[in-house]
Amino acid sequence: MRTTYLPTGADGLDDAVTAALRDVDRRGFLPRERQVYAADDRPLEIGRGQTCSQPSTVSAMLRLLDVPPGAHVLDVGAGSGWTTALLAHLVGPGGEVLGVERHAELAAWGAQNVASAGMPWARLVVATPGVLGVPRDGGWDRVLVSAAADRLPRDLVDQVARGGRMVIPVRHAMVLTERDDDGTVRTSEHGTYSFVPLVQD
Ligand SMILES: C[S@@+](CC[C@H](N)C(=O)[O-])C[C@H]1O[C@@H](n2cnc3c(N)ncnc32)[C@H](O)[C@@H]1O
């Protein structure tokens, strides 16, 4: 049975995440032959054994991330660029989104998809071998990770700014990591999900 994801009011919420899911068309982030399935609430193949994540899962992750306008955001495992574009919608032109993807072919295609979305404050680059995430002076206000780690990666926790948040699947648990203004890190679990593995070279 096909389950359709309807951003408008489907989950009873009409917030910035709903607006982003409504305005950023998933079809623009899928291979041509998969575009007909864009509204299906399931992961869709994008090549190299990877997927464009399930809309209801992305929606839950973005709500947990709680992205404010103007934020500086890192999107790890950017793949098709869909989450990068959704984050760009959330931060608006006063913010910045950097997507990072380890497969060079996917990164090149995802970068084109993001460019076509018309939000120049977002871009997608290929990951630097041996580097997890993208270290930034002062850290990132928000970090979204769309691949599952075996355990909470210290390298990514270190990239979260003071007052910042990271959402990352760890094995099957969705983990929210929050760094307080004094630097203290807290983690909490928010449901169970399945993701492709986060590769740590
Ligand atoms: C679920 S998929 C893509 C989800 C993507 N956000 C989207 O909307 O299409 C997760 C991606 O993480 C990538 N990935 C895995 N480990 C990575 C790493 N260490 N750095 C960057 N990307 C990674 C995979 O290649 C895959 O494309």
Residue nearest to atom 15 of ligand 1 (CA): 198
pLDDT at 146: 98
* Tens-place pLDDT, residues 180-190: 999 999 999 99
In the chain, the domains with their CATH numbers are 16-192 (3.40.50.150)
Ligand 1 surroundings by CB, under 6 angstroms: 50-53, 76-80, 82-83, 100-103, 106, 127, 132, 146-147, 195-196, 198-199
Q: How far apart are the first and last CA of the chain?
A: 38
- Is the model's pLDDT at 5 over the cut of 80? no
Give the relative orientation of helices 16-23 and 82-91 as an angle to the nearest 10 degrees: 130
What pLDDT is stored for residue 12 in this prediction?
Answer: 61
Question: Residues 149, 169: contact at Cβ < 8 Å?
Answer: yes
| 176-184 contact pairs (CB < 8 A, 24+) | 176/64, 177/152, 179/139
Residue pLDDT, tens place only, 92-134: 999 999 999 999 999 999 999 999 999 999 999 999 999 999 9
CA distances from 123 to 35, 86, 119, 199 (A): 22, 12, 9, 21
Distance 79 CA to ligand 1 centre (A): 5
Rounded Cα–Cα distance for residues 153 and 22 (Å): 32
Q: pTM to 2 decimals? A: 0.96
Helix and strand element counts for the chain (H, E):
5, 9
pLDDT at 29: 98
What's the pLDDT tens digit per position in 34-87?
999 999 999 999 999 999 999 999 999 999 999 999 999 999 999 999 999 999
